[in-house]
Amino acid sequence: MGALKPAHGGVLKNLYLGTEAAAEEKGRSQTLKSWDLNPRQLCDVELILNGGFSPLEGFLGRADYEAVVSDMHLADGLLWPIPVTLDVTQDFADTVGEGHIIALRDPEGVLIATMQITDKWCPDLLEEAASVLGTTDDLHPEADRLLHRSGPVYLGGTLRGVEAPVHFDFTHVRHTPREMRDLMAKWSWRKVVAFQTRNPLHRAHQELTFRAAHEMEANLLLHPVVGMTKPGDIDYFTRVRCYEKLLSHYPDQTTALSLLPLAMRMAGPREALWHGIVRKNFGCTHFIIGRDHAGPGKDSQQNDFYGPYDAQDLFKKHEHELDITLVPFKMMVYVQDRAQYAPVDEVEPNETQLTISGTELRRRLRFDLDIPAWFSFPEVIGVLRERYPPLTNQGFTLFFTGLSGSGKSTIANAVMTKLMESGGRPVTLLDGDVVRKHLSRELGFSMEHRNLNINRIGFVASEITKNGGVAICAPIAPYAMSRRQVREMIEPLGGFIEIHVSTPLEVCETRDRKGLYARARAGVIKEFTGVSDPYEAPENPEMVIDTSSITIDQAAQRVLLKLENLGYLS
C-alpha cells in the first residue's frame, strides 16, 4: 500500500468465514435463536464484518460500551468515540444469555452472521444520549431513537460472518476496505483525501474538495454515506446519480467515488472522529472536515446542537491517536466580484458574497424556479428536478388528527370528493375506523398498539405519496411522537400537511352518536382518548380547524385553499 497507513488499531479485520466454514455455520444456525436485524443494525454488521469498523470484532460488550460512552475509548485505551451496540427487545433478551450463540438475519431471513453473546445488560439510555450526543433533546434524531425506539437490552459479542449483505444497486462503486485499499495500490495513490457527505454536491463542494486535494497534493475519494442519514435527507439513489454526474468535473484519474453503508448517528464532533477512523480503515491518509460536520440542525430551543467548528476542534485534539490528517475547511461562498468561490473568512468586507441555502434550493425546485449556474452544475440540477418535480406534479399526504367526534373524518371525506371532482391525481382515503377494520384488526388501544397503527397508516400513505398520489388520513393519532415519525416517513417523498381538527372535547361529546364518550365516562371503555387517555395536541401543524364554528363544507374549502397556497394545486 505504499504510504497508506495501517488500519485503526493496526489490523484490518475481515470476519467472514471461508466457504466450508460458512456452510457449516448455516447448518448450525437452524437450531439457534434468530434476531432479525433492523436497517441500522444491518449497516453496523456489514462494517464490522468487512473491517470498516476495525478493530471491532462484534458489538460492544459492557466494559467497552461504558468506556466509550464516558471517555471515547475502548476498555484497552484505543480511541473509539461512538457506541456500536445491538439493542433487542426484552422478550428476545429473556430467551438468551451470556455464552449463547444467536443467528443474525437480514429482513428476508438470510443468515448474515452468528454472534456469541459475551454480555447482556440494560443500558442507561439517557446517560448515553447526554454523553455521546451532548443532549437528550429528542429533536436530535439519535436521541429520539435512543429514548423512544431503541430496544431496552443490549447484547455484546463477537461475530462470525456467513454472508455479506446483498446490494443490487450501484455495485460498481461499492467497495470493502480491502477492495478500496487494493484499488489505491493499483492506481499508485500514496496520499488520499476522503470527503464525507450525505447531501448532493454542488459547485461549492466541488471547489472545496478540489482545493483540499490540491493543497495536500493528494488524490480524492468521494465517500458518501448510503446507509442511514438524517430523516428527511434526499434519498441516496438520487444523490449517487448526482455524484456520478459531478465526477466529470474533476481532473481525469484523480478522483474516485465509493459508497459507504454507514448508519450515521448525527453526533457532530464525536462522529467526526468516528468518520476519520472509518476512512483510515478504507486506506485514506487525510480527511476533510467542514462546517458543522454531522450536525443534525437545531434543537427545540432553535439553537444549533453543535458549534460550527466543534468537530474540527475535537479532531485536532485527538489527531495523534487517529493517525489520519485533518483537512479543515470553512464554509465556501460565491464571491460575485471575483466570479469564483472562496472560504467565507477570506472574503473582504466590500465584496459581495452569494449563497443559496438548502431551504431556498428546495423552494426553487418546488416552484420550478431558476437555479443559477454559479450555484450548481446543470447535470446535477437535472437529476434533482427529475426527483423533485414542481409541487403541482408531486404526491402529498393530508393528515387529519383530532378527538373522536371532532369532524376530521367528515372533512377528510369532503376534501377527497372535491379532489376527485377536480381530477389530476389518484386520491386514497385512509380513515381511522376503516384502517382499524382492515389493516389493524388485531391491535388494541395501548400506546404501543396505537403507535403501531399510526405507523401502518404512515407507511401506506408514504407509498401513495411516493407514487404521485394523494393520501388522506383521518386517525385520532393522539401522540406527538407517532405523528412525527409519520412526517419523517413521508416528507422525503412528497408533501405532508398536518391538520389539527381542534374541536373542543365538550362539543365532541355532544356529537357522540355511538355513545363512546358516555361508555368511557362510565369506565366501560378503557384508554379512551380525551377521557382516560391523553391527546397531545400538535404544536406546529400546517392547519388548525375548529368545526364548532364552521360548516364541513367551509372547512373543506379552507383545506383546498391551503393546498393551493402551498403550491400543490394549480
Catalytic residue set: 197-199
Contact at 8 Å (CB) between 205 and 331?
A: no
Q: Are 243 and 214 in contact (CB under 8 A)?
A: no
**Spatial distance between the Cα atoms of 42 and 108, rounded to a whole number of angstroms:** 12
Instruction: Give the C-alpha separation, 125 to 148, whole Å.
Output: 10
> Strand 219-222's sheet: what is its strand order?
255-257, 219-222, 192-195, 286-289, 325-328
User: Letter for the amino acid at 475?
Assistant: P
The Cα–Cα gap between 451 and 453 comes to 5
113 pairs with which residues across the strands?
A: 104, 161
What type of residue is 301?
Q
**Cβ neighbour number for residue 245 with a 10 Å cutoff:** 18
Neighbours of 276 (CB within 10 A): 29
End-to-end CA distance of the chain: 59
Q: What is the dihedral of CA 465, 467, 470, 476, to 10 degrees?
A: -40
Q: Are 347 and 176 in contact (CB under 8 A)?
A: no
Q: Report the alpha-carbon distance of residue 324 to residue 279 in Å, rounded.
A: 8
Integer CA distances (angstroms), 555 to 142, 172, 333, 545, 562, in order: 38, 53, 46, 7, 11
Pairing of strands 332-335, 340-343: antiparallel
Enter the C-alpha cell of residue 46: 456489514
Q: Residues 6 or more apart from 549 whose CB is under 8 A from it? A: none
3-state secondary structure of 131: helix
**Residue written as grid cell 434543537:** 299
Burial class (CB in 10 A: 0-12, 13-18, 19+), 555: buried
